[in-house]
């Protein structure tokens, strides 16, 4: 792993642990992402955490648990058993020191640990896991004494919790777009009838005495930052920005080698050139966030972030574009040619030469406006607002 990646990983790991400490986290299940700097590193990092790292199926070569497999926490008189499982499809050869560990069958461990927790007196058992939804369902279908499975697979495609037999399965939303809150009520002798009808039909009854009500709270910009965690995040972002700037200074060089892929004679001409024939559209563009997209990166100190630069500039790592993120120049912002493609031939032919890219049904918009980056993006609304016209048909 490159030195700068190790430094970045260190900064992010420290931030996550410090933030979880302030949040009062009860437990963290270990997955592939957590192991990216190695098991030994993670064991050292656990010492600074005020919560345990859990994994029932990550073992050493002698079949001993590396992390705590499970715990029982008493909440308002209820004994809650919690255990963690990692997906056994994890690529150990990609993990530093991965030859020292093994990940055993999560299905077998689920049966073993859930039975053990029940024997130890757990009233309610929670599984934290990186298994995908299919394997979460398989665990639930085996009839184990697991009341709740909380999944965090990056392949998750569900947002609403589901009930499989007597096990409730909820997935963390991808990209950290929402905070989930699951209310668990233990019903008395009157059962679910004791609840109001408005509440009753919003949740699910599990078994004879458990009622579950799930909420998702979208993390919108309008929500105030935590007064203690926000400064930690800003400090780490500033350090990451400096690292990315150093990386750019050392390794980035001006592009142009891929220009031969373009149709001969074609290249980018930038928005001002488009304005000569399309003045109204150009004036509309000036009023959109696209026209200040690069400025937004600078303000957030992310203008050296390779994951951000491509969607806030024109032609980054594209034929005829640029690769040196220190020298953005005329390529700054999301311009006409970001969607339509290079326009020199189009201008030379006075419009007779068609633009390179097809905008049918706004597919170009969806290259950058994916759910993780633009959770509130609505294609038709934004297309009309930006381009002043309805979505083009194919």
Residue 275 CA to residue 105 CA, distance in Å, equals 62
pLDDT category, 189, cuts 50, 70, 90? Answer: confident
Determine the pLDDT at residue 204: 73
Determine the pLDDT at residue 258: 40
Determine the pLDDT at residue 255: 39
Residue 197 CA to residue 70 CA, distance in Å, equals 36
Determine the pLDDT at residue 253: 41
Matching fold, domains 3-218 and 254-357: no
Determine the pLDDT at residue 110: 97
Reported as a single tens digit per residue, the pLDDT across 124-134 is: 999 999 998 89
Determine the pLDDT at residue 207: 67
Report the range of poorest mean pLDDT among 3-7, 114-118, 164-168: 3-7
pLDDT, greater one: 345 or 355:
345
Reported as a single tens digit per residue, the pLDDT across 213-267 is: 777 777 777 788 889 999 998 898 888 877 777 666 654 443 333 434 678 888 9
pLDDT, greater one: 297 or 301:
297
pLDDT category, 14, cuts 50, 70, 90? Answer: very high
Determine the pLDDT at residue 67: 96
Q: What is the average pLDDT value for the chain, to the nearest integer?
A: 85
Q: Domain 3-218, CATH 3.60.21.10 — does that match?
A: yes
Determine the pLDDT at residue 380: 84
Q: Domain 254-357, CATH 1.10.3720.10 — does that match?
A: no
Q: Please say if the pLDDT value at position 270 is more than 60.
A: yes
Q: Please say if the pLDDT value at position 137 is more than 90.
A: yes
For the entire predicted model, the pTM comes to 0.67
Determine the pLDDT at residue 50: 96
Reported as a single tens digit per residue, the pLDDT across 28-46 is: 999 988 998 999 999 999 9
Determine the pLDDT at residue 248: 62
Determine the pLDDT at residue 319: 86
Q: Where are the domains of the chain?
A: 3-218, 254-357
pLDDT category, 81, cuts 50, 70, 90? Answer: very high
Reported as a single tens digit per residue, the pLDDT across 301-342 is: 788 777 888 999 999 988 888 888 878 999 999 999 998 989
Determine the pLDDT at residue 372: 65
pLDDT, greater one: 143 or 390:
143
Determine the pLDDT at residue 257: 38
pLDDT category, 155, cuts 50, 70, 90? Answer: low
pLDDT, greater one: 63 or 370:
63
The residue-averaged pLDDT of 336-365 equals: 85
pLDDT, greater one: 201 or 48:
48
Determine the pLDDT at residue 324: 83
pLDDT category, 49, cuts 50, 70, 90? Answer: very high
Determine the pLDDT at residue 252: 44
């Amino acid at each position: 792993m490159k030195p700068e990646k190790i430094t970045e990983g260190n900064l992010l790991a420290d931030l996550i642990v410090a933030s979880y400490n302030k949040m009062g986290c009860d437990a963290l299940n270990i997955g592939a992402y957590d192991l990216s700097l190695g098991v030994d590193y993670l064991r050292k990092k656990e010492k600074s955490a005020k919560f345990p790292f859990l994994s029932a199926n990550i073992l050493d070569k002698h079949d001993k648990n590396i992390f705590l497999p499970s715990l029982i926490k008493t909440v308002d008189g209820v004994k809650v058993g919690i255990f963690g499982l990692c997906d056994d499809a994890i690529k150990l050869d990609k993990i530093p020191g991965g030859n020292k560990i093994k990940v055993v069958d999560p299905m077998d461990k689920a049966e073993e640990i859930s039975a053990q927790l029940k024997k130890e007196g757990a009233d309610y058992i929670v599984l934290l896991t990186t298994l995908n939804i299919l394997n979460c369902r398989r665990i639930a279908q085996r009839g184990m004494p697991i009341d709740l499975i909380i999944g965090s697979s990056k392949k998750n495609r569900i947002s609403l919790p589901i009930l499989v037999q007597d096990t409730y399965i909820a997935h963390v939303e991808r990209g950290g777009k929402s905070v989930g809150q699951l209310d668990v009520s233990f019903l008395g002798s009157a059962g679910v009838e004791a609840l109001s009808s408005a509440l009753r039909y919003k949740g699910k009854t599990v078994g004879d005495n458990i009622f579950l009500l799930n909420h998702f709270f979208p993390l919108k910009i309008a929500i105030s930052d935590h007064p203690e965690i926000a400064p930690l995040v800003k400090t780490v972002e500033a350090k990451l920005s400096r690292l990315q700037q150093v990386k750019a200074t050392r390794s980035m060089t001006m592009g142009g080698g891929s220009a031969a892929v373009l149709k001969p004679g074609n290249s980018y001409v930038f928005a001002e050139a488009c304005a000569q024939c399309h003045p109204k559209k150009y004036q509309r563009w000036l009023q959109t966030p696209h026209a200040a997209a690069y400025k937004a990166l600078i303000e957030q100190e992310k203008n050296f972030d390779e994951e951000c630069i491509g969607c806030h500039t024109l032609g980054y790592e594209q034929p005829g574009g640029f690769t040196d993120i220190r020298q953005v120049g005329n390529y700054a912002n999301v311009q006409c040619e970001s969607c339509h493609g290079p326009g020199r031939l189009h201008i030379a032919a006075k419009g007779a030469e068609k633009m390179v890219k097809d905008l049918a049904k706004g597919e170009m918009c969806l290259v950058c406006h994916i759910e993780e980056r633009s959770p509130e993006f609505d294609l038709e609304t934004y297309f009309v607002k930006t381009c002043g016209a309805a979505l083009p048909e194919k």
